[in-house]
Amino acid sequence: MTLNKTLLSKIFMRSAQPMVLTSSTGTVLALNDAFTDLTGYTSKDLVGKPPLAFNFKSRANQTYEDLEQALVDTGFWEGETLEKRIDGEAIPCWVKIERIDEKDDKSGSFLYLGSLKDLSDDKLVERNLYRASNYDLLTRIPNRNLFLDHLRKNTYDANINKGQFAIICLDLDQFKSINESYGMRVADDILLIVGDRLLRNFAENSQDKTFIARIGGNEFAIFVNNLYSKEEMFAYARQVQNVLAEPFNARGKPITLTCSCGVSHFPSSATDADELMRSAQHALSIAKESGNSSVVFYDHSMAKKAQEQMQISSGLRRAATNNEFELYIQPKFSSEKKLTSAEALLRWNDPVNGIIGPDKFIPILEESDLIHEVGQWVVDEACKLATKIHALGLKDFKIAVNISQKQFEAFDFYKNIMKVLSANGFDGDKLELELTESTIAQSPDFVAETLGRLRKAGISIAIDDFGTGFSSLASLSHFPLDTLKIDRAFIKGIGAGKNSENIISTIVAIAEALNLNIVAEGVETERQLKFVLNNNIDEIQGFYFSKPLPYQEFIDYISSLGFI
């Protein structure tokens, strides 16, 4: 059977594929039922008219001229377009146009067949996927992903146009406790309200294309264009805090919240999107540490410090296993200049950087749980060194070790001290623990009980850096204590006005009233020594006599003084 024109035109008309036949100039010659179904246009509306030229809207930045050129050059074009339905609705379509080797009877020009594929369903899926990966499901505002995209675009533009902008990362303070005390629904409601408030107050009607996202559990981020000075950025962040400080009404519960903010600025904080984000979050973590409602602006010293800390902290892990710690010993003398005891002070023998002092690494040990392990080693090593000194004939020699708050608060602290004593056969009478005022300012029952048990084992307790904290007289009299160590800062002030001297006399009076032993630390000069000796101080420690020394040097030193 040969296909005659009538048959072909029937096939054309009834095909399920939307098709349109045009002349070489785009004038519509025929369209089929499927085309009408898709677009709403009938033959009456379009035949004789060149609608493709008006309607052409490429989705790939191609122009109608590109299409015409392709048809002239190759007789073929295909691409994604937005077709318009008769009611104005846009339909995403994949369009193929092909020259067919038939000429129009009337004009004698070639015919072109356009076929369309409706992409709406695909687009819907695509759109949903896009939404799911770029928007937060709960608040329906952009998520971290989209925020980063936005940042990338804007850093690119700002690089070219010399633009400036800031990002503010904010975190709702104590959000966890809201979750715990009111439940997840209330917490979710609050997040919804926060997103909404931020949008209403900062993004809507903003001429600066302010962009807001939820970037994590209770973290939001705001992109603000055209902020130049630190003052402007702080003021903006404070405004954000004020907006969120208004009470929330979440499921009938009035709740007030505060938030902390970390701010970074393009280009002074960073010039790349990921780094900007990291720096704002770094600033935010510092803001969170420094307490509720802080605003911290990122500066480069923070990165340097963090890097240093990272290095130290990874080095410290190694130090603990490689025996890189060492105890130095600094002697204490009685007012008659007799050697009474010594303080053990920790040093880190870093194979790369040499000897590192404790101020650099104790805080990092405290942040990690390493303080327990290292602190236990310190007590053990101190007992071992003191045992050797006892064996040299100094039977009454006492060793003091520093105990950090975190170490003291561990539930097994007392037990661990006892373990060290029995493992070394060490007499508790020869051990002193130095605690700071802030350590004993925590839960008084626990402190009193632990100190009581230690005291029973013969161990004495000294309060270190005394005068810098806020110990109440009441707490001093309630706890079983032995010694107050006057902070070095007051000894330093001797001879420089009456202030420090008055404080020293007051501390001595308190110690006498409470029947406590009193130590002056940091005595460096003859003048300081005279002053403390005139003020009834029992023991003296400081560079005037000796710096903290490695064990063997300490032995050499005390033997040179004739103590052994």
Smaller CB separation from ligand C2E, 214 or 488: 488
Cross-sheet strand order for the sheet of 76-84: 28-31, 19-23, 110-118, 90-103, 76-84
Beta carbon of residue 385, minimum distance to Ca ion (angstroms, whole number): 16
Measured CA to CA, the distance from residue 419 to residue 563 in angstroms comes to 31
The answer to whether the beta carbons of residues 194 and 245 sit under 8 Å apart is no
Among ligand C2E, Ca ion, none, residue 546 binds (CB under 5-8 Å by kind)? none
CB atoms within 10 A of CB 151: 25
Q: How far is the CB of 389 from ligand C2E (least distance, A)?
A: 18
Q: How far is the CB of 364 from Ca ion (least distance, A)?
A: 18
CB of 402 to Ca ion, least distance (A): 5
Q: Which of the choices Ca ion, ligand C2E, none does residue 97 contact, using the CB cut-off of 5 to 8 A by kind?
A: none
Q: Which does 296 bind (CB under 5 to 8 A by kind): Ca ion, ligand C2E, none?
A: none
Nearer to ligand C2E, 142 or 548 (CB): 548
Residue 187 contact, options ligand C2E, Ca ion, none, Cβ 5-8 Å cut-off depending on partner type: none
Tokens, residue 537: 């101080």
- In the bound complex, what is the minimum distance in angstroms from residue 375's beta carbon to ligand C2E? 6
Least distance CB 218 / ligand C2E (angstroms): 34
CA–CA distance, 326 with 551 (Å, rounded to integer)? 9
Q: Of 219, 432, 465, 538, which one interacts with Ca ion (CB under 5 A)?
A: 465
Cβ nearer to ligand C2E, comparing 64 with 377: 377
Q: Which of 234, 483, 227 is nearest to 340 (CA)?
A: 483
Name the amino acid, one letter, at 26.
G
524 touches which of ligand C2E, Ca ion, none (CB within 5 to 8 A by kind)? ligand C2E
261 binds, among ligand C2E, Ca ion, none (CB under 5 to 8 A by kind): none
Q: 223 or 361: whose CB is closer to ligand C2E?
A: 361
Per partner kind, with CB cut-offs from 5 to 8 A, the member of ligand C2E, Ca ion, none near residue 142 is none
d(CA 498, CA 439): 29
Distance CA 88, CA 80 (A): 18
Residue 522 interacts, among Ca ion, ligand C2E, none and using kind-specific CB cut-offs from 5 to 8 Å, with ligand C2E
Total residue length of the chain: 564
Q: For residue 484, count CB atoms less than 10 angstroms from its CB and return exposed for 0-12, middle for 13-18, buried for 19 or more.
A: buried
**DSSP-assigned letters across all residues of 355-379:** EE-HHHHHHHHHHSTHHHHHHHHHH
The pair of structure tokens assigned to 462 is 């000294």
Q: Is the separation of the CB atoms in 179 and 249 below 8 Å? A: no
Cβ 289 to ligand C2E shortest distance, Å: 20
C-alpha angle 400-404-405 in degrees, rounded to nearest 5 = 130
Least spacing, CB of residue 466 vs Ca ion, in Å: 8
| Helical (H) or strand (E) element with 347 | strand 339-350
Among ligand C2E, Ca ion, none, what does residue 543 contact (CB within 5–8 Å per kind)? ligand C2E
What's the min distance (Å) between Cβ of 328 and ligand C2E? 7
Distances (CA, A) of 428 to 346, 397, 420, 451, 459: 21, 12, 10, 13, 5
Dihedral pair phi/psi, residue 58, rounded to 5°: -75, 150
Query: Binding residue for Ca ion (CB under 5 A) from 402, 404, 407, 500?
Result: 402
117-125, 280-288, 431-439, 498-506 -> range binding Ca ion (CB under 5 A): 431-439
Q: Would you tell me which residues interact with ligand C2E (CB under 6 A)?
A: 330, 345-346, 357-359, 362, 375, 378, 401-404, 434, 464-465, 488, 521-524, 541-543, 548
Q: Residue 542 touches which of Ca ion, ligand C2E, none (CB < 5 to 8 A by kind)? A: ligand C2E
DSSP string over 468-493: SS---HHHHHHS---EEEE-HHHHHT
CA distance linking residue 519 with residue 335, whole number of Å: 10
> What one-character DSSP code corresponds to residue 247?
P
- Sole window of 6-14, 126-134, 214-222, 396-404 interacting with Ca ion (rule: CB under 5 A): 396-404
Do 514 and 495 touch, CB atoms closer than 8 A? no
Pairing of the two strands 431-436 and 398-402: parallel
| Apex 514 CA angle, 448 and 335, nearest 5 | 115
Residue nearer to ligand C2E on the CB measure, 404 or 471: 404
Q: How many residues bind Ca ion (CB under 5 A)?
A: 4
CB of 464 to Ca ion, least distance (A): 4
Question: Pick from Ca ion, ligand C2E, none: which does 315 bind, CB < 5 to 8 A by kind?
Answer: none
Nearest CB to Ca ion, comparing residues 112 and 479: 479
With CB cut-offs between 5 and 8 Å by kind, which of Ca ion, ligand C2E, none does residue 346 bind? ligand C2E
In the complex, what is the shortest distance from the CB of residue 173 to Ca ion, in angstroms, rounded to a whole number?
34
Count of other CB atoms within 10 angstroms of residue 453: 16
Can you name the residues that pair with 344 across neighbouring β-strands? 329, 401
Strands 483-486 and 460-466: parallel
Closer to Ca ion by Cβ: residue 173 or 434: 434
Q: How far is the CB of 346 from ligand C2E (least distance, A)?
A: 4
**Is residue 434 close enough to count as binding Ca ion by CB under 5 A?**
yes
The residue from 83, 432, 464, 538 that contacts Ca ion (CB under 5 A) is 464
Q: Of 154 and 404, which has the nearer Cβ to ligand C2E?
A: 404
Write out the residues near Ca ion by the rule CB under 5 A. 402, 434, 464-465
